Amino acid sequence: MLKPLKVLIVEDEALLAMELESLIEDAGHEVVGWATSSSEARELIDTVDADIAFVDIHLTDGPTGVDVAEYIVGKDNSMVVFMTANSKRIPENYAGAVGVIAKPYTMAGLNSALRYLQEGVREPPPVSTCPTGFTLSPDYQSAWSPSHN
């Protein structure tokens, strides 16, 4: 049995954040915080212990999600997964993030992604195959799923 994930949510829309929080908790994981802006996200990641951050590209202070991802990855304590409907705004190197969950996601899609990420965080590389609706960044593609290269 793998240890549950501690998740930080970085999302400007209150309803989406609330829904994501209940889905994550229903899947047996813990939400350690919710940030709506890049500054809140930086403050939170400095004070809470998160395994993974789900980061929307567009936040209340603009399209600052990529900067947030770079900051979190730079601290080297937590992984980042983007959650966006517009993956074109993600840079080619994914700012060091694991990958992207496309919005809108389904409950089943999110649960598979959470299981896959739990394996990737606790005992990398994951044993499950990368679920649909979840796209790995080029770096994690070669680290976690080399056969696909």
Partner 1 sequence: MEFKPTRESPDAWHMTDDLHAEHGKGDPFAAAIRATRMSMIITDPRKADNPIVFVNDAFLRLTGYSRNEVLGSNCRFLQGPDTDRQSVERVRQAIQANSDISIDILNYRKDGSAFWNALYISPVSNDRGEVQFFFASQLDVTDRKESEHRVKADKERFEAAVKERTRELEEALEAQTVLIHEVDHRVKNNLQMVASLIVMQKRTIKDEETRHSLDAMLSRIEALGTVHRRLYQSKDVSRFDLADFADDLISDLLTASGHSEIRKELDLQPVIISAHKATPVALMMNELVTNALKHAFKNGGDESLKGTLGVRLHNHGEHINIEIADDGVGFDGKQENSTSFGTRLIHSLARQLRAEVTWENANPGTRVKIKLPADEMQ
As a whole number of angstroms, the distance between CA 35 and CA 10 comes to: 5
Q: Which stretch binds partner 1 (CB under 8 A): 12-20, 96-104, 107-115, 140-148?
A: 12-20
Name residues contacting partner 1, limited to 28-57 (CB under 8 A): 34, 36
Q: Which stretch binds partner 1 (CB under 8 A): 14-22, 94-102, 126-134, 139-147?
A: 14-22
What is the footprint of partner 1 within residues 64-83 (CB under 8 A)?
A: none
Q: Is 13 in the site for partner 1 (CB under 8 A)?
A: yes
Q: How far is the CB of 18 from partner 1 (least distance, A)?
A: 5
Structure tokens at 40: 């809140």
Residue 21 or 139 with smaller CB distance to partner 1: 21
15 binds partner 1 (CB under 8 A): yes
CA distances from 106 to 23, 38, 144 (A): 10, 26, 23
Task: Tell me: does residue 18 bind partner 1 (CB under 8 A).
Answer: yes
Helix (H) or strand (E) holding 85: none
Q: Is 85 in the site for partner 1 (CB under 8 A)?
A: no
* Nearest alpha carbon to residue 112 among 127, 132, 97: 132
Q: Positive or negative CA dihedral for 74, 56, 97, 6?
A: positive
